[in-house]
Amino acid sequence: MRILVIGATGLVGGAAADALEAYGDEVLRASRSSALAVDLTDAASITALFERVASVDAVVSAVGSVPFKPLAELTGEDYLSAYRGKVAAQVDVVRIGTAHVTDGGSLTLTTGILAREPIRTGAAAALANGALESFVISAAAELPRGLRVNAVSPTVLTEATGYHAFFPGFPPVSAADVGQAFVRSVHGVQTGQVFAL
């Protein structure tokens, strides 16, 4: 399969791209800093990326920027920033990218454990992750041409040691295991699912 991985220079996106390549797929790696450059906060940039790649069998979006602050310090702009940086960015991948995915193909978004489990300073991230997971469940019922949409929702990654202190008692998961969840989403038959690990 020919698969576009957006956010492929990040830890999660890189793990997804590596796992899909190991499975035998042709992976097109896109990010802000790659040859296939894209800014997911700009719909015109997303449109240009899909026009450049033309047609793919699947899309993986592993991006998202959200503020982490104590609840009392979060402003309205912080919540809007979480929405724009993680929710709107990935919803636009589906909205714009659907026309470029072959019949029966798939789109996979990335959320996170904060949709289900709280941590201090995680309210804005929880809002974004929960919104995306609800979107996936609903959008799956309406996608055309047999297209599927799912989300991968990991906990803190073993390799992301700088975040471990913010997730006390949370067993970390390896980037390689997260990569396999993307393989499952792309090559499986499920739709409207959140693959939590």
Q: Where are the domains of the chain?
A: 2-196
Instruction: In whole angstroms, give the CA distance from residue 24 to residue 133.
Output: 28
Residues 6 or more apart whose Cβ sits within 8 Å of residue 72? none
Q: pLDDT tens per residue, the chain (197 residues)? A: 999 999 999 999 999 999 999 999 999 999 999 999 999 999 999 999 999 999 999 999 999 999 999 999 999 999 999 999 999 999 999 999 999 999 999 999 999 999 999 999 999 999 999 999 999 999 999 999 999 999 999 999 999 999 999 999 999 999 999 999 999 999 999 999 999 99
The model's pTM is 0.97
Q: Where are the alpha helices (DSSP H) in the chain?
A: 11-23, 43-53, 76-82, 89-97, 123-139, 175-187
Residue 148: what pLDDT? 98
pLDDT tens digit sequence for 110-148: 999 999 999 999 999 999 999 999 999 999 999 999 999
- The SS3 assignment for 29 reads strand
Could you tell me the CA-to-CA distances from 182 to 16, 102, 189, 193 in Å, in that order? 6, 18, 12, 12
- The SS3 assignment for 173 reads strand
Could you tell me the CA-to-CA distances from 59 to 86, 94, 182 in Å, in that order? 16, 9, 10
Classify residue 17 by burial, with Cβ atoms within 10 Å: 0-12, 13-18, 19+: buried
Residue 118: what pLDDT? 97
2-196: CATH number: 3.40.50.720
Phi/psi of residue 194, each to 5°? Answer: -115, 115
- The SS3 assignment for 15 reads helix
Tokens at 19, concatenated: 């796992």
